[in-house]
Amino acid sequence: MDYASIGLLVIRLVFGLTFAAHGAQKLFGWFGEYGIEGTGGFFESVGIKPGKPMAALAGVSEVAGGLLFALGLFVPVAAALIVSTMLVAIVKVTGKNGYWITAEGYEYSVAIIAVSVGVALTGPGAYALGRFIG
């Protein structure tokens, strides 16, 4: 049994689908969030302008990156989408609050970056669609 590939599959599914769900919050207002309108307003308030188009871009990046990551398809591209989104979050929102999430810091973002880069560097494992596409 290939435990490493099973472990990578679990990591990809949990992180990828969670990340995609965050994008769906931004795009569609699902899971208790505010959609493009509310996210766009928040983006404007932290200096990301124009708010609505940037919210749409962030949402699409999160959905696409998360789904690709979960599926194990084009994992380096998926990781780049995830990492770039998290870097913007650190620079524009959480970086000033320090490391710890309890103070609204960037701890969560760093964990997502580390997992994304780690999986991109090691490969998605045997249970990935990318293995079948080449």
Are the C-beta atoms of 26 and 39 separated by less than 8 Å?
Answer: yes
**What are the pLDDT tens digits along the chain (134 aa)?**
899 999 999 999 999 999 999 999 999 999 888 999 999 999 999 999 999 999 999 999 999 999 999 999 999 999 999 999 999 999 999 999 999 999 999 999 999 999 999 999 999 999 999 988 86
Are the C-beta atoms of 74 and 130 separated by less than 8 Å?
Answer: yes
The C-alpha atoms of residue 68 and residue 109 are separated, in whole angstroms, by: 19
Q: What is the number of other CB atoms lying within 10 angstroms of the CB of residue 73?
A: 18
Are the C-beta atoms of 78 and 65 separated by less than 8 Å?
Answer: yes
The C-alpha atoms of residue 111 and residue 117 are separated, in whole angstroms, by: 10
Integer CA distances (angstroms), 64 to 104, 106, 134, in order: 25, 22, 19
The values of phi and psi at residue 62, to 5°, are -70, -45
